[in-house]
Amino acid sequence: GESVGLHLPTLSVQEGDNSIINCAYSNSASDYFIWYKQESGKGPQFIIDIRSNMDKRQGQRVTVLLNKTVKHLSLQIAATQPGDSAVYFCAENNAGNNRKLIWGLGTSLAVNP
């Protein structure tokens, strides 16, 4: 399933399916992008980041895609598991030391068994 992070805040998928969470970022000068996962009662947990000189980066079961032409960022989660249920945030930055991180409002991912 797909979701536009800022406009459809809830995504529901079946266990085992792939999930795609989308983010439209605002500043064409942004050069660093990052995804976080926040479980209930916990702080945000770093998932994966990507710099603007790349268009794809893979981690364990996750892939981040960056399309600078349309200012779009996506997080793909392969074989979604119940433990992936959380709120996912994207953030963009265009200044050093994370001074100007701009955060999305988050997408809630619900994994159905």
Partner 1 sequence: DVKVTQSSRYLVKRTGEKVFLECVQDMDHENMFWYRQDPGLGLRLIYFSYDVKMKEKGDIPEGYSVSREKKERFSLILESASTNQTSMYLCASSFRAGGGNSPLHFGNGTRLTVT
Which positions touch partner 1 (CB under 8 A)? 32, 34, 36, 41-46, 49, 89, 93, 96-99, 101, 103-106
| CB of 53 or CB of 69, closer to partner 1 | 53
Beta bridge partner(s), residue 102? 92
* C-alpha–C-alpha distance, residues 65 and 89, integer Å: 15
| CB of 11 or CB of 87, closer to partner 1 | 87
Closest CA to 113 of 39, 19, 20, 14: 14
**Distance in Å, CB of 12 to partner 1, minimum:** 20
| CB of 13 or CB of 85, closer to partner 1 | 85
**Distance in Å, CB of 15 to partner 1, minimum:** 26
Spatial neighbors of 2 by CB under 8 A, at least 6 apart, are: 11, 20, 22
**Distance in Å, CB of 105 to partner 1, minimum:** 5
Are 45 and 62 within 8 A, CB to CB? no
| CB of 13 or CB of 88, closer to partner 1 | 88
**Distance in Å, CB of 34 to partner 1, minimum:** 6
* Distances in whole angstroms, Cα of residue 108 to Cα of each of 46, 82, 90: 16, 13, 12
